[in-house]
Amino acid sequence: MSENINCQATRRGRNWDAHVPEYGAFASGRTLKQLRKNIEGALALAGVTAEITITPTSPELETLRTSKDTYTAALRETVATLALRSTTKTDIALATEIKPGQVKALLAEPEPHRTSRHVTPSLA
């Protein structure tokens, strides 16, 4: 049975570095592809065969991921709102600049739990 191991890669100079502390494995590579090969080799020396997921990290990449998550949440809410207003899937796709298949997929997703947006005025 193959294990899944997640590790974060950080850029140091011209190389990517990754560390898997639970196995004492460390590797470096000029490219992410080379890093994957090297971390797999380091784990093999420890007798570990695993599926490796490498997540490159930096402040800029974290900003990008946050922006992507915000966009995805706004898109999901916009598609749902337009659908509730009886807008066709084709019109939703045109208005949001996504493919009709993406509209269909978003509408097929279970609706996330939403908290109330109503603010109770304070009695001050």
Instruction: Report the predicted TM-score, pTM, of the whole model to 2 decimal places.
Output: 0.69
Q: Where are the alpha helices (DSSP H) in 21-119?
A: 32-45, 59-84, 89-96, 100-108
**What's the CA gap between 39 and 27, in Å, rounded?**
5
Per-residue pLDDT reduced to its tens digit, 21-64 = 999 999 999 999 999 999 999 999 989 988 999 999 999 999 99
CA dihedral 90, 95, 97, 99 (to 10 degrees): -10
Per-residue pLDDT reduced to its tens digit, 53-85 = 999 999 999 999 999 999 999 999 999 999 999
Q: Residue range 104-109: average pLDDT?
A: 94
Residue 115 in this model has a pLDDT that exceeds 60: no
Write the DSSP symbol of residue 1.
Answer: -
Q: How confident is the model at residue 110 (pLDDT cuts 50, 70, 90)?
A: confident
